[in-house]
Structure 1
């Protein structure tokens, strides 16, 4: 594997048919020396419940639950949560054997940098958390520098066999309750070392949902009947003071406690994206850390209006679906919204028509393989909902790769990947006779020129509506 530096163009044939990315760097190359660990951490690293993979998950990439890297030279040292960040500390080791070519030049170099388009993906792909900053590794430039031949000039760190680089990556903080996630940073062989890491774990328990029922209004005290004053055997009071009798003290009414409002009212309009007319839709929603929908609401046919009452302090995901329309999904982040407030979220649905072609934007596979990753499930579930709402709908799944690499291998990879998507839909109850598949490999690119970053649109999975 470690000769990827020299086999890059050949191996690029295993390009991804659909992953995100963007790509180039920021700092001069280093090369050859031992790189120190990254700098000081954020001052809020002591946030409660953060933990360095607490419980049975030690701070080692070789331990269960610490992640599985697409590149064998990458180790996850620790994962920490703070108030604002999800922090990953990684180490890269150039494990190539030192060799020299005929001219005496040292072989086995590896070029490393991190693409700021990388993100953490959780909740089976329903939640994504963006990259914020890095320490100890250069970032890929948004606009790559090219030489006279149009080839990209490497600007990151060039490592020699045996070199080790330890660095730290900061991402947006995971929603509470999300403990399993993946890191996606690159497409297949878009760069020599890829930081895709699967099955990461961090201890991140969810806050309990406490339901506070409305407080009943305080009742007026029951009037006490006028009873004769009771005589007591107390001695006579001194001169000038009243005495000889005692009156029962008057009871003051207890003020009603202020009710604690924990509900946020979410409402909006579901409409046709083209003509803006109201649409009757079903909106299934769930907690971001949950695998099951907890409830659903419907929008009114006459107005398209819907309303949900959700618990404050939580993050929800939803799928809106309607007969004759593409399903739409989104996130309702109520973690910083006070109870009693109102949140407006309008939803526009795109109508379906025979012949329409739709790109599935968030489908993830193992590097250079057809194994479908769990981060793809949210996108495919939208397609499942669409086909369930339209029982006469049939589709053709189409797979595409980039134009780089071996044509036959690209063709086979694209076929295998759409079959993997078909298999998922069938497991969800969609009849296989409603799903055709075809792999086009590199024969139908969107772009034939440009950089790796620009040509990434060629790697995709699409579906075409055959009947509805």
Structure 2
């Protein structure tokens, strides 16, 4: 019987099975690494092998979310000034397993991969892992029996309930729905968790233009009618009190400017830059760069986080984040933008395209990348492309081919929903026939799982 290795990993690219876990860790009857069962310690015996069932209350809001592994429960979600904190419980649901001496053996190992992250705003914002409490961070260690590197962590036994806490960067204010993405391994059951929610209201954005103070008339000028003269000290001949100066208005905006240029020849480019609050799905406004200089300028409310997309005819769209949450009003920031020109025959990998585990259903975290592609095709109405789907070399060949086809068709349909004519988008699934790497670890081969598009005409 195989022992699963449950470990959180980062989900990137096109996964033919979005999972974290199920790592074969040493049952002699199964694959994977093997450790002697008679007293010799495994590499992870720095952690006790047995733990009491634990599920402490950690405060915060009750956890909500849909997990890819039924053994993982979201207990609570909490926000502090610096962190987004998830308290989870893993339950080892495997059946008991015994060695030849009748002793119960570990059926799993858990740990957390520090490349995991949270994603929100339909994929436009990601928040990195900071630390974990209750389980170890994933590490690789050389197995002396095989000479290969293996993943090690904390052993679990059937029925064990292990509570642990994950810390990530704090969500932008206003972002309340997010996902936890981990793994790129076709053999593991990932602890991916979708549709997480936390109450995180946005600050009210109020822009008050600065006012011009009313000038004080000089003392030698006659006072306007009905104006009350300033009081004087003493009965007569005293000095006039100097009127108190009005406080200077507090700056509430940050000026962001820069140059949009061609990434290859550095020449200025006329581009449209759409920007919005990170927590919003609607474009807040847009500005254009000057044709002669490529210079653009926009005034944004301080204390907010914005995302933007810069697009121009004949160029790939570029996106980014403007984090003004800790920037004082009145400051000026520079953000130059380089756009890559498009050419027939170019092959471009779509980053951050996510699907349900072993399915072709697009997750919302994919929308930001596909929206960029749709905007690019709208800016270039003669552009036609071929979407190409690829899987890793692991698994059934025919199933990989079908899965890759289904997934690029899902991307094709999304573009059609955004107004792109289906005649402009071909879809081909190559499955495992065109891998980038054929050797190496699963983490190294994750580049094989991808969605690309080739420009056919422009």
- TM (norm. structure 2) is 0.84
CA offset at residue 218 of structure 1? 1.7
| Aligned partner of 2:166 among 155, 163, 169 | 169
Aligned equivalent of 1:75: 73
| Aligned partner of 1:201 among 197, 204, 213 | 197
For 1:377 and 1:357, the matched residues in 2 are separated by 20
1:196-221 superposed Cα distances (whole Å, 9 cap, x missing partner): 10000111111111222212222335
For 1:211 and 1:403, the matched residues in 2 are separated by 54
SS at match of 2:180: strand
Alignment of 1:132-211 (within 5 A): 132-141=130-139, 145-146=142-143, 149=146, 151-189=148-186, 191=188, 193-211=189-207
Aligned equivalent of 1:362: 352
SS at match of 1:211: coil
1:90 aligns with 2:88: yes
1:269–1:346: 8 Å Cα contact kept in structure 2? yes
| Residues 276/78 of structure 1: CA separation in 2 closer, same or farther (3 Å cut) | same
| Aligned partner of 2:384 among 394, 398, 403 | 394
SS at match of 1:153: strand
2:19–2:191: 8 Å Cα contact kept in structure 1? no
Aligned equivalent of 1:34: 51
| Residues 4/109 of structure 1: CA separation in 2 closer, same or farther (3 Å cut) | closer
Aligned equivalent of 1:230: none
Aligned equivalent of 1:224: 223
| Aligned partner of 1:213 among 197, 204, 209 | 209
1:212–1:260: 8 Å Cα contact kept in structure 2? no
2:185–2:442: 8 Å Cα contact kept in structure 1? no
CA offset at residue 264 of structure 1? 0.5
For 2:424 and 2:377, the matched residues in 1 are separated by 9
Aligned equivalent of 1:52: 60
| Residues 154/18 of structure 1: CA separation in 2 closer, same or farther (3 Å cut) | closer
| Residues 39/271 of structure 1: CA separation in 2 closer, same or farther (3 Å cut) | farther
Alignment of 1:31-430 (within 5 A): 32-35=49-52, 52-53=60-61, 59=62, 61=63, 66-99=64-97, 109-141=107-139, 145-146=142-143, 149=146, 151-189=148-186, 191=188, 193-221=189-217, 223-224=222-223, 253-430=243-420
2:85–2:165: 8 Å Cα contact kept in structure 1? yes
| Residues 226/188 of structure 1: CA separation in 2 closer, same or farther (3 Å cut) | closer
| Residues 365/28 of structure 1: CA separation in 2 closer, same or farther (3 Å cut) | farther
1:185–1:195: 8 Å Cα contact kept in structure 2? yes
1:71–1:195: 8 Å Cα contact kept in structure 2? yes
For 1:330 and 1:273, the matched residues in 2 are separated by 16
Q: Structure 2: which 5+ residue stretches go unaligned?
A: 6-13, 26-42, 227-233
1:283–1:296: 8 Å Cα contact kept in structure 2? yes
Aligned equivalent of 2:37: none
CA offset at residue 112 of structure 1? 1.6
Greater Rg, structure 1 or structure 2? 1
1:305-347 superposed Cα distances (whole Å, 9 cap, x missing partner): 1001101100000000000100000000001111110000000
2:75–2:88: 8 Å Cα contact kept in structure 1? yes
For 2:443 and 2:368, the matched residues in 1 are separated by 25
CA offset at residue 368 of structure 1? 1.3
| Residues 427/343 of structure 1: CA separation in 2 closer, same or farther (3 Å cut) | same
CA offset at residue 290 of structure 1? 0.3
Between stretches 323-332 and 29-38, larger displacement belongs to 29-38
For 1:106 and 1:154, the matched residues in 2 are separated by 22
Please tell me the root mean square deviation across aligned C-alpha atoms, in Å: 3.2
For 2:264 and 2:17, the matched residues in 1 are separated by 27
SS at match of 1:203: coil
- Kindly report structure 1 stretches of 4+ aligned residues shifted beyond 6 Å: 18-21, 38-41, 246-251
CA offset at residue 38 of structure 1? 9.7
1:275-329 superposed Cα distances (whole Å, 9 cap, x missing partner): 1111111000000000000100111111111001101100000000000100000
- TM (norm. structure 1) is 0.82
1:371-415 superposed Cα distances (whole Å, 9 cap, x missing partner): 100011111111011101000001111111111111111111111
1:123–1:288: 8 Å Cα contact kept in structure 2? yes
1:75–1:90: 8 Å Cα contact kept in structure 2? yes
| Residues 146/376 of structure 1: CA separation in 2 closer, same or farther (3 Å cut) | farther
For 1:444 and 1:367, the matched residues in 2 are separated by 22
CA offset at residue 195 of structure 1? 1.9
Task: Number of aligned residue pairs: give it.
Answer: 420
| Aligned partner of 1:444 among 414, 431, 434 | 434
